[in-house]
Amino acid sequence: MRWLITGAAGQLGSDLRTALSSAGVPDSDVRAWGSSELDVTDRRAIAARLDEFGPDVVVNAAAYTAVDAAESDADRAFAVNATAPALLAAAASERGCRLVHVSTDYVFGDASGGADRPFEVDDPTEPTSVYGRTKLAGEQAVLELAPEHGFVVRTAWVYGATGQNFVKTMAALQRSREHLDVVDDQRGSPTWSADLAAGLIALAQAPAQPGVYHCANGGETTWFGFARAIFAELGADPERVRPTTTDKFPRPAPRPAYSVLSDASWRAAGLTPLRHWRDALAEAFAVAGEQLRG
Catalogue the active-site residues: 131
**Amino acid code (one letter) for 186:** Q
User: What is the rounded distance in angstroms from the CA atom of residue 255 to the CA atom of residue 291?
Assistant: 27
Q: How far is CA 181 from CA 188, 238, 244, in A?
A: 18, 12, 6
Distance CA 74, CA 72 (A): 6
**Could you give the 3-state DSSP secondary structure of residue 242?**
strand
Q: Which of 167, 170, 190, 166 is closest to 180 using CA atoms?
A: 170
CA dist 68 and 48 (Å) reads 34
Give dist(CA 58, CA 153) in Å, integer: 13
Integer-rounded Cα radius of gyration of the chain: 18
Q: Are 86 and 138 contacting, i.e. CB atoms less than 8 angstroms apart?
A: yes
> Any idea what DSSP says for residue 119?
B
